[in-house]
Amino acid sequence: MLDRAGNSIIFRGDDADAAEFKRFVDLVDIPSRLIIRRYHAGRYSARIASYGDKQGLGSVSASGAGGAGRARAAQPDADQSAGLIGSGFLLDAEEEGSFTYFGTRSQHDQVAALVEEFAEQVREAEMRVEFYKLKHARAADAADLINQLLDLDRAQTADSPFLPRGVEARGVRRIDPPQQRQPEPQPTRDPDRPATRDEDEVGLTPVEGIAIIPDEANNQLIIRAPQRQQREFVRIIDSLDQRRPQVYIEVQIVSVSASKQFDFSIDYALGNDSPGNVPIFTNFGLRGDPFTTDLPNPSGITAAVIRSNYIPVIVNMLQTEGDGRILSTPRILVNDNEEARLDSTRDEPFATTSQVVGAPSQTGLGGTLSAGTSLSVTPQVSEAGFLILDFEVELSSFGERPNPDLPPATDRNVFSSAITIPSDSTVVVGGFTRESRTDTVNKIPLLGDIPGIGNLFRNISKMNSTQTIYVFITPRVLRDQSFTDMRLLSEGPMATMNVIDSLPPLEAALMPLRRQREQARDEDESSVSRHDQGANDQAS
């Protein structure tokens, strides 16, 4: 029989049974070795107790009103005042944010570690503001890239009344995904257990309240985010804030032209200017008045038959050969993945004339045309040592101007492409060859068609021309951290243009070793000691 008031058991039986029953009671009725402690874990008390139950630290029980008793979850029908047998968690319904644990010392150590781990997770979820100074990247560009990682499709421009005006123009972004809450803290994995791939990878999940502000004046990023995300931002910023290599690009545009022209002309004059004569003559441009003795002044070799009052026959032959070479070498230095442009052109004005009825004509500037060399290039350096170049090269020049009131003719050659080339090598990236052949025959009808002697009644002009243009590109990737390669590359142009470096040349000097300095110091001390000894001897 159970005596609850006296916390005793009443047994009825013979002496042998009483002795056996007492032996069993002595085995059970021993002092408890469990330690009772209270832990304050805030709103995560129930979560910690549930997780500890899964880890085998004991079941979870809840105290009744006024703390009269507690029951284990494994024994829901047990009397609440009977007490808790074994380790377990007791959640106090009246005092939220804490729980009581019954267990051994080692079990309490595990529970304390679990509480600290959840507390660390809470601290990780707290919002913090960090400043990240960038060394190489631009703050605005880095902020745009990170905002893209945070899914800018759902981002909204910050419009808080606490922000200064014009903050939208500085690229402030607030990540505010709909129906998204701060993730609940979860215990980290056991350090003794091997990590899986997903646990080692760092993700950047949009969290409500993250704000990224580029401070362009100081070239730094101001990020407001939980501490957990701050560590992720550190890794991403370290990957973005890398010094980009530079590319020195040299372009050679070579234009070679060759021409050959042959002219053969004969002019005749039959009769003279006497009264009654009918003059017959040809005019292929070798004479003016056919009935004079004035010889023309054409180029080449000229032969003529001269009479007293006119020249009956004039023969002229001329062959002209020309060779030309034009070399244009634009050079430019540009960062990796940046566009560079160089223009070296000449503007040629032309006039325009307008006239109104009843008023004199007026001549004014009609406009200008540009011709010269233009280069536009965007390099992309790969880790394999080659470059991807998007380039456009334009070579233009003015031609003849038949009328001063009209614009001059313009020859324009444009090369545009995207190529892959090795660094520190000269390669041809484009070119063309244009050949022209013109045969012109001016002749007297019928007479000029007679075989053989028909050449005496012809003016023959033959012209052959060839023009070849090639474009060569030489890229050089500059990666030296101390810019030594850039200084070496500048020495040639500086010497050509007689440009003096502002820094004086550094002269080499010998630096004493540590042992030599110690020996010199010992010698100085010995010299001072001997001097003091000599002074003492003189005094004595």
- 331 in the same domain as 235: no
Tokens at 298, concatenated: 């054409």
Residue 81 has a pLDDT of: 33
Q: How confident is the model at residue 124 (pLDDT cuts 50, 70, 90)?
A: confident
- 310 in the same domain as 429: no
DSSP bridge partners of 464: 260, 437
**Distance between CA atoms of residues 480 and 484, nearest Å:** 6
Question: What does pTM read for this prediction?
Answer: 0.58
Distance of CA 255 to the CA centre of its chain: 35
Chain position carrying tokens 């644990």: 101
Tokens at 354, concatenated: 């307008």
Instruction: Give the count of domains, the chain.
Output: 4
Tokens at 255, concatenated: 């234009």
Distance of CA 112 to the CA centre of its chain: 49
- 460 in the same domain as 381: yes
DSSP bridge partners of 478: 246
Structural domain of 52: 31-64+86-125
Higher pLDDT among residues 187 and 379, named by residue? 379
DSSP bridge partners of 461: 263, 440
**Distance between CA atoms of residues 175 and 158, nearest Å:** 9
8 A C-beta contact, residue 142 and residue 149:
no
Residue 319 has a pLDDT of: 87
Q: Does position 270 have pLDDT exceeding 80, yes or no?
A: no
**Largest Cα span, the chain:** 186
- 223 in the same domain as 333: no
Q: What is the pLDDT of residues 337-376, one digit of tens each?
A: 999 999 988 888 877 777 777 777 777 777 788 888 899 9
- 428 in the same domain as 329: yes
- 225 in the same domain as 272: no
Q: What is the pLDDT of residues 22-60, one digit of tens each?
A: 888 877 777 767 888 888 887 778 888 888 888 888 888
- 369 in the same domain as 351: yes
- 120 in the same domain as 90: yes
Last residue of one domain, picked from the residues 75, 107, 125 = 125
Q: Is residue 508 part of a domain?
A: no
- 430 in the same domain as 418: yes
Of 327, 329, 334, the closest CA to residue 476 belongs to 334
DSSP bridge partners of 313: 268, 305
CB atoms within 10 A of CB 255: 19
Q: How confident is the model at residue 157 (pLDDT cuts 50, 70, 90)?
A: very low
- 38 in the same domain as 103: yes
**Distance between CA atoms of residues 347 and 405, nearest Å:** 16
Q: Which amino acid is at 366?
A: G
Tokens at 432, concatenated: 């063309």
Angle between helices 227-240 and 139-149 (to 10 degrees): 120
Residue 177 has a pLDDT of: 41
Q: Is residue 202 part of a domain?
A: no
149: left (phi over 0), alpha (psi -120 to 50) or beta: alpha
- 388 in the same domain as 333: yes
- 329 in the same domain as 269: no
Q: Is residue 183 part of a domain?
A: no
